[in-house]
Amino acid sequence: MPQTPEQRLDKEIMLYCGEHNWMCFHCNVGSVLTADGKYFRTGLPVGFPDLLIIKHDGQVAFCETKIHPRKPTTQQLRFINTLKLRGFNAFVCYSLEEFKNEIEK
């Protein structure tokens, strides 16, 4: 199955993080219809950012990846704002370059 542009951006960011000895986790949020017709939801809350990054110095960052013209949902923006209010580096990025600029803040 071919990757979407957003999946390619996630992979680029994950490779960049690996080059800097940072841990980067892709966090899936959503639900899946099981064979018996029931929905299974992941344990993460709706709006949780796509990527969780743990830098080698212990700093944590959260990144929601998007490709233009897509925009974050209201739940994603609310979650990112909550993380920022609690002192975390949390942001939306549309490219690897934008990620690099944001992660260094």
Say if residue 83's pLDDT is above 80.
Answer: yes
Q: Give 1's pLDDT tier (boundaries 50, 70, 90).
A: low
Q: What is the pTM of this model?
A: 0.89
> What is the residue-averaged pLDDT of the chain?
94
> What residue type is assigned to position 17 of the chain?
C
Which long-range contacts link 2-11 to residues 24+ away (Cβ below 8 Å)?
A: 4/67, 5/67, 6/65, 6/66, 6/67, 6/70, 9/65, 9/67, 9/93, 9/94, 9/95, 9/96, 10/50, 10/51, 10/65
Say if residue 49's pLDDT is above 80.
Answer: yes
Q: Please, is 72 exposed, middle or buried when counting C-beta atoms within 10 Å of its C-beta (0-12, 13-18, 19+)?
A: middle
Q: Give 24's pLDDT tier (boundaries 50, 70, 90).
A: very high
User: What pLDDT score does 51 carry?
Assistant: 98
How do the domains of the chain map onto residue ranges?
5-103
How is domain 5-103 classified at the CATH fold level? Trna Endonuclease; Chain: A, domain 1 (3.40.1350)
